[in-house]
Amino acid sequence: MYSLKYFFIKFIKFFTAKVQIKYFHFSFAYLVNWISERNEDRYNVNQNHGQNYDSKNMMHTIRLLQSCEQIFKTGLLNIRVENRDELLDIKAGNWPYEAVMQKAEDLIQSIEHYHAVSTLPDFPDVEKTTKILIEIRENLYH
């Protein structure tokens, strides 16, 4: 049986690979569909910064990788990021594509390191999480 940490790493690798594939292997059908259904404001932002990548998507990719790194490194997840300005800078398209991809690669290496030394349990405490979920729902609906 595989551990949660195993699936988490697999997800991050899959997510990162999907991002790379999305930008390197456009099919004509996908491109036609994207053009007809695209968000014009987002498209214009990407055209204006001229970096030739979806800057909002890349900002979220970096944010998610940083969250993953933080979970393995500290065992905690802080929703409010400390590098908001950096993420907004990526979203604005102020980073060259190569720099964003290098940051992603560095984060993946760091995640793999912290995964290897993580003290997080391999499996969740189902009884504990179920109890917490019930308490949340009771507080929400009563």
CA 122 to chain centroid, in Å, comes to 21
Comparing 4-8, 31-35, 74-78, 119-123, the range with the smallest average pLDDT is 31-35
Q: Full-prediction pTM beyond 0.85?
A: no
Element (H, E) at 66: helix 55-74
Query: What are the residue ranges spanned by the domains of the chain?
Result: 4-141
Task: Over range 81-101, report the average pLDDT.
Answer: 92
- Would you call 102 helix, strand, or coil by DSSP? helix
Confidence of residue 46 (pLDDT cuts 50, 70, 90): low
Q: Is the CB of residue 73 less than 8 Å from the CB of residue 117? A: no
Element (H, E) at 90: helix 84-91
Higher pLDDT, 47 or 91: 91
Structure tokens that stand for 132 in this block = 């917490």
Phi, psi of 2 (to 5 degrees): -85, 150
Task: Over range 97-107, report the average pLDDT.
Answer: 91
